[in-house]
Chain A
Amino acid sequence: MSGPLVKTTCMNEEDIDRALTRMAHQILEANHGAQGLALVGIVTRGDILAKRLQDKIEQIEGVRLPLGKLDISFYRDDFMTHFAPEVLGTDIPFDIDGMTVVLVDDVLYTGRTIRAALDALMDIGRPASVQLAVLVDRGHRELPIRADYVGKNVPSASDESVRLFLKDVDGASAVEILDMDPGQRAGAAPLGAKEGVA
């Protein structure tokens, strides 16, 4: 079986880095600094982006924000109709009560992942507010959810898949638009999807 066809590469490593730099500035600007802020990335790639935002905010502001990762497997709305997703684990090693939590994800699509993430966060604690940062917004929302910080808006068709690959885990960084195999769902690629690619 051949892999899905890459139609377009819409961001390369430099584009991704510039977008993250801008988003770090925007987060600090909107919140008047780093006071009370925390970053929570959604696994499997949002957590890596959140770590990069943490580094950038530290370079800009000299403050290292608390960083957590969130696995939404237990909150999915398609659990009983699809295979149990592999659980990678939630790890939020700080109290989110009263914090301004910036949720970080790679691609914003239907909004269902974010709905699940919000429910998960509310079971963990009571943040003062929650903001959303995504590297790519591809449209096709099915729920009333929007991002506060967007790296790039990528118009796409619903039979396409928009995927982020990251150097740390996939061997190369890029945002790509792919044709989907019939019946395939537009989920994230498994980690290591680009391993071996120069």
Chain B
Amino acid sequence: MGFPHKHLIDISEYSADEIMQLLKTAESFKEVNERRIKQVPTLKGATIVNMFNEPSTRTRSSFEIAEKRLSANSLNFGGSSTSSVKGESLSDTVETLCSYKIDMIIVRDKHAGVPRKIADLSGVHVIDAGDGKHQHPTQALLDLYSIWEHKGSFEGLNVGVVGDISHSRVCGSLIPALKIMGANVCVIAPPTLIPANVEVLGADSVTSDFDSVLPDLDAVYMLRVQRERMEGAPFPSLREYNMMFGLTQQRDRLMKPDAIICHPGPINRGVELDSFMADHPDRSVILDQVYAGILVRMAALYLLLGGSEDGITA
């Protein structure tokens, strides 16, 4: 009956049933978000620290809205105001936070592995809100939710993940999550943006020829070209990237009639996604993904914080 996880750090630790439970719980929060009073008292008295050690607007605001709609008390901690700039170690920071008697830490950090370290140090619930190039599990959940909402199931679904695989923590969670749920995953990217060990993510196929696989895809997941993370020149120009790997208006006719377009945002219009496709009324589910972000984060807070491990089921 209970939810068997204390943390949401590595999506590979979750089973298909548990992910489905998260998605169904997320769905039931829709009703709360559509009321006049968009708040329930469920997490009254819980204190959640949003520890964002790296810039984030969307993920952070989405978590904050989820916390507020569940009546949790939240504390924003991080950025240039943190004591790490004064030289405090991570473990001292975490111990200080724990002395506030908090219940959960949401962590965003530029170093992979920090959420796990904090979980070990703190003993409180931890959700990974993106760590380095490693994982971003709530992003994967909101992507799964949007795909599930539009496609109904994952079994046998062909999903293409296009773009900067090597710098993407979104992929680090999304590809394993899609595989857990039974989808087929095709990675499409310039050879320079495919990590050497792409097979560990579990993708079924890898190609650099977008047009050859596009007609088979049920969902096309366009990754953002992360210009700020790139060193050297992985491709000659943004214009050439757009021609080879961008979802251009010309590619619309190659797609299945009911194929959908996902993007984690923020979009580089004219680079990985043409405006025509980003705003496509039948295909683009990008704004649904943003809304799903609130739903799945509410579900994760609800299931992780619900009850102590020695609780008795009804």
Contact = CB atoms under 8 A, between A and B. Distances in A.
Interface of A: 71, 73-76, 79-91, 119-120, 123-125, 183-185, 187-188
A123 B40 contact: yes
B152 interface: no
Nearest 9 Cβ contacts at the A-B interface:
A84-B306, A187-B314, A83-B2, A74-B40, A83-B307, A87-B28, A89-B28, A74-B42, A82-B311
Nearest to B36: A125
B313 A83 contact: yes
A119 B312 CA distance: 24
A134 B40 CA distance: 25
Contacts of A88: 28
Contacts of A82: 306-308, 311-314
Highest count of chain A CB atoms <10 Å: which of B1, B36, B41, B302: B41
23 contacts: A71-B28, A74-B32, A74-B41, A75-B40, A75-B42, A79-B307, A80-B43, A80-B46, A81-B311, A82-B307, A82-B312, A83-B3, A83-B311, A84-B305, A87-B29, A89-B28, A90-B28, A119-B41, A124-B37, A183-B312, A185-B312, A187-B314, A188-B314
A85 B314 contact: yes
A87 B308 contact: no
A83 B25 CA distance: 14
Interface string B24-48: 1101110110011101111101100
B312 A184 contact: yes
A123 B42 CA distance: 13
Contact of B306 (A71, A79, A183): A79
A136 B11 CA distance: 45
Contacts of B28: 71, 87-90
Contacts of A75: 40-42
Contacts of A183: 312
Interface string B290-314: 0000000000001101111001111
A85 B25 CA distance: 10
Nearest to A83: B2
A124 B35 CA distance: 6
